[in-house]
Structures are given as C-alpha cells and as structure tokens.
C-alpha cells in the first residue's frame, strides 16, 4: 500500500513538475516564408497560411507526432464497430473570437457546406460521407457510406478548419470582407497584418482550455531573402525559423550557436517523401532491371549526410516510416554499384542516354541532382542533366516529357490519402504533376490499394499495406530517395513549441518562454 502511494505520488509529481515550471507571458517572433496569400484557412491552404492560421482556427482533433488523435474542439469521440459512424462530443464553453458561442451547427456548416465547396483535398474524403448531423449543440455525427480508415486523419486543422457559420452562411465565401480579419476559436486572435512586414496575433483571453495559451502575442515576420532570415535569427530579431526557411548549409552554423535548439519533428502528418519519377512507358527506365539498377547505384546515405546535413531518413519504399502502416519488410536497396552493373549487363543496357530533371527549388536540389548523375555515371549509365524553372518542371512532369524527374510529396498521415494516388492506374492522367506520373500500371496491386483503403480495422489494413509494400518495392515504379526532414530552429528558452504532427502550425498553443 505504501509502495502504491509512493508511486502515485511520484507520478503526480512528475506530471505536475513541468506544469509548475511553465511561465506565462512574452512574445514570440516566427519567420513565415513566403508571405501567405490570405489567412482564411477554409479558402487558402498554402503552407504559410496553415502556419499562421493554425493558431487562429481549430479543427476537432490534433495529432501527436505518432499520429495519435488528441482532443481539440472535440473532447471525446467514438467510432462504431463497423467503422461507419464517427460521433464527436464537443468542448463546453467555446466562443468565437467575436464572442458568439461555438456550437455543433458550426461544425456541420463547415464540413458539409463551406469546405465541401472550397477544399479539394477534403472533398475527396467527404465523398465517403453519407451525412453529417448535429443531434444537439455539443454532438456531431459523421455517417459514412462505406468504411474509410483514413477518415480519422481528416480532422486536422489544415484539412478541416472549423469556420464560423454566423459569418459565412449565405454569403459569397471568397469575397466575404471578414476574410481579412479571420475569426476562429483558436488560442490566438488576429490583430494586424502589415503587408510585407509582419502578421500580429494576440492571446485569446477567453480560450476554453484553462491556463492556455501562455504567450501574450506572436509576430509572424515576413523576410523575403534566405540569408536575411538567417541573419535575423542570429541577431535575435526572430526566435523561430520553421522548417525550410533557411538554406540547409546554414543550418549547422545556426544550430551551433549558443542557446539554439533544433528539431526535425513536427512534419509527421505531412511526411514529405522525396523520389525520382522513372518513366515506366519508354526508354531504359521502362525496364524493371534498369530501375532496380538505379536503386542500387544511388548512394542515398551520402546525400542525406552531405546534401541534407544529416537530416532525413533513407526511404525504403512508397510509404514513409512516419506515416501509418509503414512496413520495413521489403527488399532493401543499399549502395551497391557492382550489383547495379550486373543488372545493367543482364538487361543489355546499350548506353542510351537518360535525362534527369532536377527540382528547381534551389541549390540543395541542384546538388542532389549532380550527386545522382555522378552515382549513375559510375555504374555506366549515360546521364544528361536537364535544366528548367518551376513552370517548366510542372510542364515536363505533367506532360510525361522526362526520363527521371525529382519530386517530393506529402503523405497526410495515411497511405490512402497521400500514397496510393501515385501508384494506381486510375490516377494516370496527363496534366497533373501529383498523380501517377510515372505511368506504373499493375492491376493486381490496384485492387489491393483500393481494398486496403476501405478495410474496417487497422490490423487488417496493416497486413494489406505490408503486402503491397513488399510487392511494389521489387517493381521500383519510382526511385525512392529520402524521407525529408525540415528542421525547426529555435531558441532553447522557447519550450513545448513542437509537440504535434504538424509542428509549428499549431504549436504556439502550448508554447511558453522561459524567462
């Protein structure tokens, strides 16, 4: 008994300790790059908008870095055994920033009316939904037509931001003048946007979670030049550099400064996955042996260490290790030039040149393409680097005018949301650089992808996806490169900033500054 008490006390102490240490007050300066086109998250979902508006708006759930759902506007939820009915109980005493009460009607309006019209990515998930109803003011029920496992990941703030019904109902959403002064339920309220300079958010004093937020105000600073952003951090003008806001080469210099911390976490929901499209239709890349040879020729570990300064993970297949249902029970392609040469000899490669199209996103990607060209020429593949701008890259990939082309895409937490689109034959459509651009056509696997999306229990899906990964990795439809990691750099006295799968996007909610 004494033992039990002691343990209880210890656990209580452990839980209480950080809570005691948290200090209120202070201001946080965060770089936002580039300047967002707008802040009404229901209308615009660009990266920068998600980062700023993730503090203003909320959705029903938040997700841990392991993609476990957590309460947000919903305090609890249940999923029926057949996977068809999702019931959410909402928080009590929530108000909009303008003082109006928040109710289940706002959720129904947002999901069923507003976002259905404005949000393409959510719309494809809503296609599985039969009805969205509010039996009372604090309950929302989503009923699906058929089971859709990934649906639980649809309640992230960038995917389903809850917008105020009393402001938008019956208006033209795109031209509503309230878009300039967004009203949400989040921990911070919009104050001022000085175009080209900063966006100012202030603490929501009436936030429904006791004690939150800790910070008084946030300034999202617009600094257009990468070098200037690094300098602003060095001089102490800004406290946080979110992932991707400085060049990779500057990262070590900044993180070695005193009192500076960095983390690669906070991107799990997006899980940016980099690969090269290999044109499966024509040329040497249409031969499976050639594609396997490419995988063995690449020194992906080197690229991770040198080009990405050690950030990231070598990808083993189509699904990121940060996404649900990842399996490592697949053929591992290590850096093995001899094996690559054997495969090339076996297929009878005649030295036909292959074009490599780099991603025109700056020096890091250019160096990466050069490293790949070097790896491939070392095993005897004749490579030409193409050169292009963003528009040209979009054009060439979406019109299939390439042999190998760099890209990276988000996975959104579930293979059915962000992975299968790149491998099933129904997604072979000219004109988009985000679908099955490589032209991989495997009807047997298509069936498995589709079946796995609508299985009821996670265990079933786990088995199905493991099988798919094992099979597809041997076919090498594309050359998987790295699970990218964009480190967030911040001053160490900023605490608890990155705690969720979308990192800085909704991190300021619980962040605090140690004085």
Partner 1 sequence: MTLWKRFSSNTGAMIGVIILLLVIAIALLAPVIFPKGPWQMVQRPFLAPFSTDGLPLGTDTLGRNVAAQLAYGARVSLLVGLVSTVVALLIGVPLGAVAGFYGSWVDEGAMRFTEFFQTIPNFALAIVLVAILEPTLTSITLAIAIVSWPPVARLVRAEVMSVRKREFVDAARVAGLTRRRILVAQVLPNTVSPIIVMASLMVATAILLESSLSFLGLGDPNAMSWGYMIGAARTVIRQHWWLSFLPGIAIVITVLALNLIGEGLNDALNPHLSRKARA
Per-residue binding letters, 329-368, with partner 1 (x by CB under 8 A) = -----------------------------x----x--xx-
Per-residue binding letters, 279-318, with partner 1 (x by CB under 8 A) = -----------------------x---xx-----------
Return the range that interacts with partner 1 (CB under 8 A); candidates 62-70, 93-101, 200-208, 383-391: 383-391
Exactly one of 7, 64, 176, 374 binds partner 1 (CB under 8 A); that residue is: 374
Q: Residues in contact with partner 1, total (CB under 8 A)?
A: 23
Exactly one of 22, 138, 262, 388 binds partner 1 (CB under 8 A); that residue is: 388
Q: Does 250 bind partner 1 (CB under 8 A)?
A: yes
For partner 1, give the closer residue by CB, 25 or 310.
310
Q: How far is the CB of 51 from partner 1 (least distance, A)?
A: 24
Q: Does 385 bind partner 1 (CB under 8 A)?
A: yes
In 3-state terms the chain splits into helix, strand, coil percentages (rounded to 5) of 35, 20, 45
Q: How far is the CB of 363 from partner 1 (least distance, A)?
A: 5
Peptide linkage before 213 cis (omega within 30 of 0): yes
Contact 167, 109 (CB under 8 A): no
- Alpha helices (runs of H) in 61-129, residue ranges in sequence order: 104-108, 115-118, 120-126
Per-residue binding letters, 477-506, with partner 1 (x by CB under 8 A) = ------------------------------
Q: Does 373 bind partner 1 (CB under 8 A)?
A: yes
Q: Does 52 bind partner 1 (CB under 8 A)?
A: no
For partner 1, give the closer residue by CB, 79 or 371.
371
Contact 497, 511 (CB under 8 A): yes
Q: Does 389 bind partner 1 (CB under 8 A)?
A: yes
SS3 406: strand
Give the whole-angstrom CA distance, residue 113 versus residue 140: 15
Number of helices and strands in the chain (H, E): 16, 21
For partner 1, give the closer residue by CB, 357 or 468.
357
Q: Does 370 bind partner 1 (CB under 8 A)?
A: yes
What angle, rounded to 10 degrees, do the helices at 458-475 and 443-453 form? 160
Residue closest to 438 by CA, chosen among 294, 256, 280: 280
For residue 30, list its beta bridge partners: 220, 240
Q: Does 253 bind partner 1 (CB under 8 A)?
A: yes
Return the range that interacts with partner 1 (CB under 8 A); candidates 50-58, 183-191, 371-379, 402-410: 371-379
For partner 1, give the closer residue by CB, 105 or 231.
231
Structure tokens at 340: 């690559």
Per-residue binding letters, 202-241, with partner 1 (x by CB under 8 A) = ----------------------------------------
CA triplet 162, 164, 166: central angle to 5 degrees?
Answer: 155
For partner 1, give the closer residue by CB, 234 or 496.
234
**Residue 312, Cβ density class (10 Å: 0-12 exposed, 13-18 middle, ≥19 buried):** buried
Residue closest to 411 by CA, chosen among 322, 515, 502: 322
If you compute the radius of gyration of the chain from its CA atoms, what whole number of angstroms results? 24
Return the range that interacts with partner 1 (CB under 8 A); candidates 24-32, 34-42, 97-105, 246-254: 246-254
With helix as H, strand as E and coil as C, how does 426-465 read? HHCCCCCCCCCCCCCCCHHHHHHHHHHHCCCCHHHHHHHH
Q: Does 249 bind partner 1 (CB under 8 A)?
A: yes
Q: Where does this chain bind partner 1 (CB under 8 A)?
A: 247, 249-250, 253, 302, 306-307, 358, 363, 366-367, 369-371, 373-374, 377, 384-389
């Amino acid at each position: 008994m004494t033992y039990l008490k002691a343990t209880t006390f210890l656990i209580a102490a452990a839980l209480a300790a950080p809570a005691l240490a948290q200090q209120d007050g202070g201001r946080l300066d965060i770089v936002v790059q580039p300047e967002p086109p707008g802040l009404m998250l229901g209308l615009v979902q660009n990266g920068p908008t998600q980062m700023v508006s993730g503090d203003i708006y909320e959705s029903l759930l938040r997700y841990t870095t392991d993609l476990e759902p957590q309460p947000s506007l919903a305090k609890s939820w249940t999923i029926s055994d057949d996977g068809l009915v999702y019931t959410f109980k909402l928080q009590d005493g929530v108000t909009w920033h303008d003082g109006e009460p928040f109710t289940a009607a706002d959720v129904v309006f947002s999901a069923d009316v507003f976002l259905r019209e404005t949000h393409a990515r959510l719309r494809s998930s809503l296609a599985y939904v039969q009805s969205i109803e509010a039996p009372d003011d604090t309950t929302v029920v989503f009923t699906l037509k058929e089971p859709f496992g990934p649906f639980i990941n649809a309640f992230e703030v960038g995917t389903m931001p809850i917008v105020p019904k009393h402001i938008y109902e019956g208006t033209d959403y795109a031209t509503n003048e309230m878009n300039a002064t967004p009203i949400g339920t989040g921990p911070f309220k919009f104050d001022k946007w000085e175009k080209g300079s900063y966006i100012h958010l202030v603490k929501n004093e009436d936030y429904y979670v006791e004690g939150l937020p800790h910070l008084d105000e946030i300034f999202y600073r617009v600094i257009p030049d990468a070098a200037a952003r690094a300098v602003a951090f060095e001089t102490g003008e800004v406290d946080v550099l979110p992932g991707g806001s400085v060049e990779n080469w500057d990262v070590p210099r900044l993180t070695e400064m005193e009192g500076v911390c960095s983390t690669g976490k906070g991107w799990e929901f997006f899980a940016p996955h980099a690969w090269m499209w290999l044109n499966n239709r024509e040329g040497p890349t249409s031969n499976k042996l050639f594609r396997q040879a490419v995988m063995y020729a690449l020194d992906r570990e080197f690229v991770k260490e040198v080009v990405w300064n050690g950030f990231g993970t070598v990808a083993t297949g189509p699904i990121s290790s940060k996404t649900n249902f990842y399996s490592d029970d697949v053929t591992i392609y290590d850096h093995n030039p001899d094996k690559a040469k054997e495969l090339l000899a076996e297929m009878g490669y005649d030295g036909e040149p292959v074009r490599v199209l780099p991603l025109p996103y700056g020096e890091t990607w250019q160096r990466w393409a050069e490293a790949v060209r070097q790896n491939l020429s070392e095993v005897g593949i004749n490579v030409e680097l193409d050169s292009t701008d963003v528009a040209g890259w979009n054009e060439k990939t979406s019109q299939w005018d390439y042999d190998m082309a760099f890209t990276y895409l988000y996975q959104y937490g579930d293979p059915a949301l962000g992975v299968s689109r790149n491998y099933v034959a129904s997604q072979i459509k000219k004109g988009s650089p985000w679908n099955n651009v490589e032209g991989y056509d495997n009807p047997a696997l298509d069936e498995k992808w589709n079946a796995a999306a609508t299985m009821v229990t996670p265990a079933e899906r786990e088995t199905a996806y493991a099988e798919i990964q094992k099979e597809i990795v041997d076919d090498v439809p594309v050359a998987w490169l790295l699970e990218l990691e964009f480190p967030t750099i911040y001053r160490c006295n900023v605490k608890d900033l990155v705690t969720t799968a979308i990192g800085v996007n909704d991190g300021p909610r619980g962040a605090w500054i140690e004085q």
